[in-house]
Structure 1
């Protein structure tokens, strides 16, 4: 593109930083959508509204994918052998971005980490509160039918580390076991200082390398614990 305006790579770096900030806004939006959906299940079990929130999550996932592709296109373009200014940088980024977008599929959105968390928490919430799943939710209905017989009185709200009722439960994404957040983080920190791995504290679990990044808040279980405690206080 002879004679075209040149674009400084320092300007691109600044723009890339701004895009990463946008990604944090998307993550915040997905967190809010998840909490709203859990509120709906807990209070009303409004199937239609919960379905709407799932659509919102998929829209956020699509935005996140597009943003990731754009940032990747910029980063890969900037790795090329380059002078300080390149006249056709915009064209090169667009070409790379278009190639990435051409490989899109709906399954990409369903593999979004926050969407997976959203679906898991909905399933856990329905199980915790013994609510039947929406008939249209075919992928979860069989599993929920198997689990629906589990009642709150039978659930284990006790942390395997502290042997006390959990206040801020976190679930291990690898093995699925749940612990009090502060308790497991203290173990991870202590073992890190000793340069040793952390074995899952749940008796019988073979997972021998628990990492902080493996832990996600279990909002559904926390709500179930809070609900049971409220019922206990009202009975007293």
Structure 2
């Protein structure tokens, strides 16, 4: 048994506006079948997408706090010119420069219209075939432990593990990476971004949730009530949800 990452949840006060921003930022399309706005590759909604992780922008009443998100997106570029052009275009769409203590680095740190930080990376060969999202990046204290948990929780493959970082990617070698970066601080506020995981057809959602608990996941009550998904946290308190089989 294993779960597949289905999409990234982005919480927003104005889910339609934030969804439009990310659709234009990524060159994708925004679809609003209900209260959420799904952002995915153009050509009509395909969910779960077999290659990419879409964004599901969910309305919430609380604004983002001043604390830096512990989960963010890294965007891929193909050249220095592409990085500069993308950065300028994102700023024209409403992104703003952010100082998170990065110092002199070759990437650019921005925030979306509601303050969610993200990075526009310099061109890197490792991300040449990921699509517009190079990686979903998670701050953590112990990348090795996080790689063990997420490597067993999902059907993604652990690619690299070190004391200061770890990376996973779909076993098919497509789409973005899931990266864990070591930071000294711990989680203090709820995540504005998190992953939703999906069982394969025929797999049992409750059995998968029970398996995750044995790996170190903890139940989470965020007022979801009798929802068809289960909210959990990983061993370092990052939120995620297990959806009903699709």
Instruction: Tell me if both proteins adopt one fold, taking TM over 0.5 as the criterion.
Output: no
TM-score between the two structures when normalised by the length of structure 2? 0.23
Q: Whose RCO is larger (CA < 8 A, sep 6+)?
A: 2
Bigger radius of gyration among the two:
1
Higher strand share: 2
TM-score between the two structures when normalised by the length of structure 1? 0.24
Higher helix share: 1
